[in-house]
């Protein structure tokens, strides 16, 4: 299926991945609508970082995922929904689990109910590798048990299951994409890679949490390309699909790579306040993306080292985007 004659809604469009998805989609569909969380300044989030020739092609609507009327109005005349809207901070979910669950789970329910009412052609639910918890085996395929090791991961597991029920009960055109850790330009300073880089650009001292956890990092443009390919594939209907690089790296190794690229020795300080609760830390995530390769012909094109250099280059160009002396959770 091609997108050229489709009207598309992206929720969470002002976020890191959402803004990259809008940038990718803006000239591939007949109309692109972006749902952003309302704020009194009408700030469009990271959409403001896109070129004007991109943003002027995007219809922006402000609202709240928890408001079902907003969602119904948003999806009038829409053919495809990319649902990325969520509260994504794991540390925040420890402090405010109700807010995270209501936004991520009930917000997804609102999307699904409206999609059912409007008979939306395809709804792509963006989930996360955090639903797997600490790996019981690697690489992790889509059959790996789900383990809620944080309120955030629990909210995404619940959202997935509700989406699955709408496919099985109502035949809604749903696909679930489990993104492994994305990174790249414009990512929030709460994420580990921009946390390390932003500090390293101004200091020789790096403050982080645990050094041993390993993650599967995928450059954001590869992740977005995978999400779009899922939407175009009839074979992906009703499927859960991993999008990840198949390569994992520890926090300590990331710091070593940043040190090498910048050509400076870094002193690492592991702070307790940055660590996850003991039984909540996910020790390793490593994707098996063979299903994506077989169903939609996707594989990552940008290596971790190449993506890291691209990210450092962008962050050097936009130093005011980050506050490296402040701990972002």
Residues 257-295: tens digit of each pLDDT: 999 999 999 999 988 888 888 777 889 999 999 999 999
User: In the chain, where are the structural domains located?
Assistant: 7-180+220-243, 183-215+247-285+302-321
Q: Burial code of 216-239, b = ≥16 C-beta within 10 A, e = fewer?
A: bbbbbbbbbbbbbbbbebeebeeb
Residue 34, pLDDT > 70, answer yes
In sequence order, the 6+-apart residues with CB closer than 8 A to the CB of 125 are: 83, 108, 159, 160, 163, 174, 175, 176, 177
Tokens of 134: 């600490």
Average pLDDT over residues 52-74: 95
Residue 328, pLDDT > 90, answer no
Which pLDDT value is given to residue 326? 77
Which pLDDT value is given to residue 272? 86
Q: Does domain 183-215+247-285+302-321 have CATH number 3.90.25.10?
A: yes
What fold, for 7-180+220-243?
Rossmann fold (3.40.50)
Which pLDDT value is given to residue 191? 93
**164: preceding bond cis by omega (within 30 degrees):** no
What whole-number distance in Å separates Cα of residue 163 and Cα of residue 127?
11
What whole-number distance in Å separates Cα of residue 268 and Cα of residue 299?
34
Which pLDDT value is given to residue 271? 87
Which pLDDT value is given to residue 329? 64
What whole-number distance in Å separates Cα of residue 27 and Cα of residue 103?
30
Residue 122, pLDDT > 90, answer yes
Residue 207, pLDDT > 80, answer yes
What whole-number distance in Å separates Cα of residue 248 and Cα of residue 140?
11
């Amino acid at each position: 299926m091609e997108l050229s004659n489709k009207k598309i809604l992206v929720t969470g469009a002002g976020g890191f991945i959402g803004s990259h998805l809008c940038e990718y989609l803006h000239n591939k569909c007949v109309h692109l609508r972006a749902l952003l969380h309302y704020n009194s300044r009408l700030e469009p989030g990271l959409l403001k970082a896109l070129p004007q020739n991109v943003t002027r092609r995007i219809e922006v609507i402000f609202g709240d995922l928890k408001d079902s009327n907003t969602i119904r109005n948003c999806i009038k005349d829409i053919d495809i929904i990319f649902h990325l809207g969520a509260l994504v901070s794991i540390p925040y979910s420890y402090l405010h689990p109700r807010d995270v669950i209501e936004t991520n789970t009930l917000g997804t329910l609102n999307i699904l109910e409206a999609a059912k009412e409007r008979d939306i052609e395809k709804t792509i639910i963006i989930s996360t590798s955090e639903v797997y918890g600490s790996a019981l085996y690697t690489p992790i395929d889509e059959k790996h048990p789900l383990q809620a090791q944080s309120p955030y991961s629990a909210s995404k597991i619940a959202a997935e299951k509700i989406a699955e029920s709408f496919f099985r009960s109502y035949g809604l055109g749903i696909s679930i994409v489990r993104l492994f850790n994305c990174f790249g330009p414009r990512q929030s300073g709460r994420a580990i890679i921009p946390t390390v880089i932003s500090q390293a650009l101004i200091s020789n001292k790096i403050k982080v949490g645990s050094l041993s956890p390993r993650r599967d990092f995928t450059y954001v443009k590869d992740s977005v390309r995978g999400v779009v390919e899922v939407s175009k594939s009839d074979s992906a209907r009703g499927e859960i699909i991993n999008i990840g690089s198949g390569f994992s790296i520890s926090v300590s190794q990331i710091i070593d790579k940043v040190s090498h690229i910048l050509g400076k020795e870094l002193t690492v300080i592991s702070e307790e306040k940055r660590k996850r609760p003991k039984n909540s830390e996910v020790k390793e995530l490593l994707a098996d993306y063979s299903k994506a390769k077989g169903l939609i012909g996707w594989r990552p094109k940008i290596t971790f080292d190449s993506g890291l250099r691209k990210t450092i280059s962008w962050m050097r160009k936009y130093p005011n985007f980050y506050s490296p002396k402040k701990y972002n959770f």
